[in-house]
Amino acid sequence: MYESLLKPLLFRLPAESAHRLAFGALRIAHAVPGVKRVMRASFDARAAGLEVRAFGLRFPNPIVLAAGFDKHAEGYEALCSLGFGAVEVGTITGQKQPGNPRPRLFRLPADRALLNRMGFNNCGSERAEKHLRRPRTDVVGINIGKTKLVPDESAIDDYVLSAERLGPLADYLVVNVSSPNTPGLRDLQAASRLRPLLVSVRAALDRVCLSRRPPLLVKIAPDLADEEILAVADLALELGLDGIVATNTTIARTGLATDAAAVAALGNGGISGAPLRARSLAVLRLLRSRVGSRLTLVAAGGVETVDDAWERLRAGASLVQIYTAFVYDGPALPSRLARGLLERARAEGFATLQAALDHHHATRATNGAAVAKPSNVS
């Protein structure tokens, strides 16, 4: 139905208008009594064998909706009803902001990609806090970033404000320093600037999260040089972070099927989707080679198929995030990916997906040495 009816209609609209319409309709429908139960049954992705563990949390499956879709933290429950193992909301900034001028979101259908320069448009941490106080049973990560109008010298204070407000409500918290659409933000990825930021955010979480401090992760760009990626990995290990999300969108424009002049005419922004596949996988493998099992890795960028997701998990990721493929393939995608991963695990002789991940991660940790696999591992 999505491919034959809804997608053609939505793709006739500007990309941001289509997003607002589809997401709004989903939230309205989900609020109708009985619809939540029907949706969760229709997009079931909570089989016992699908559950995975990451940074001390249990996820019903490893398919996570990446930040950028639910920017205001207002529809995460409806999205989880589509079969996601978790939803990462945001990016949320200390202060409310409208983002960059429209148009700011574009489709590149020939590349199965999106180009965006949204600029962290969101309701701000104070309003988001109210949205996130609703009782929930789903796993919700919170992605925080810098308010555009806040000067660079006050960036840490801005992140701390969001961490103090949202940390107690987060199942896990992600510090986003890798969007290309806020001037100067990516400069915060340099270890000399990232260190005080992460130390301050973690100290804020320690102050306000009295019963449980949420796992703390950092999200990095695919455009960093390999040595810069390793520097972030070393810093994350040194500071005792819980994980790294790899990767955000790319500013690279090479290898696109879309005409270069047409892409240039759209202007600046980060590209997500299939063009990111190779580089995001390479970054994931590089990180895994550096951190081993000491950090949880979350893969993002160019994941469209069960093959893509399985490859990321085998490469060392514990969770796999999608965004652009969800736009192109529709609401059945998360449950289809999750069930497909369990089929892959069972085809290899494992009773559960977690058992398969434990085996493959252990194999990588021993630099490819053979690891004995008993039959019908559970």
Burial of 238 (0-12, 13-18, 19+ CB in 10 A): exposed
* Residue 375 covered by a domain: no
* Residue 57 covered by a domain: yes
- In sequence order, what DSSP letters do the residues of 22-56 get, joined into one string? HHHHHHHHHHSTTHHHHHHHHT----GGG-EEETT
**Does position 1 have pLDDT exceeding 80, yes or no?**
no
Structural domain count, the chain: 1
Q: Please tell me what DSSP assigns to residue 106.
A: E
Read off the pLDDT band of 378 (50, 70, 90).
Answer: very low
179 is catalytic: yes
Query: What confidence score (pLDDT) does residue 180 get?
Result: 78
What are the tens digits of pLDDT across the range 43-72?
988 888 999 999 999 999 999 999 999 999
* Residue 356 covered by a domain: no
Higher pLDDT, 2 or 313: 313
Q: Of these residues, 125, 162, 178, 179, which one is catalytic?
A: 179
Rounded distance between C-alpha atoms, residue 320 and residue 33, angstroms: 31
Domain residue limits at 16: 2-348
Q: The tokens of 350 are what?
A: 């494992």
CATH number at residue 58: 3.20.20.70
Please, what sign has the CA dihedral across residues 131, 132, 133, 135?
Answer: positive
Query: What confidence score (pLDDT) does residue 365 get?
Result: 65
**Does position 144 have pLDDT exceeding 60, yes or no?**
yes
* Residue 219 covered by a domain: yes
Half-sphere exposure of 84 (CA within 13 A, CB side): 29
Question: Pairing between strand 216-220 and 172-176?
Answer: parallel
Are 283 and 315 spatial neighbours (Cβ–Cβ below 8 Å)?
no
**Does position 237 have pLDDT exceeding 70, yes or no?**
yes
Query: What confidence score (pLDDT) does residue 373 get?
Result: 40
- pTM over 0.75? The answer is yes
Helix, coil or strand: residue 167: helix
What are the tens digits of pLDDT across the range 190-211?
888 899 999 999 999 999 998 8
Strands (E), the chain: 52-54, 57-59, 63-65, 86-93, 105-108, 113-116, 140-145, 172-176, 216-220, 243-246, 270-273, 296-300, 317-322
Mean pLDDT of 243-253: 95
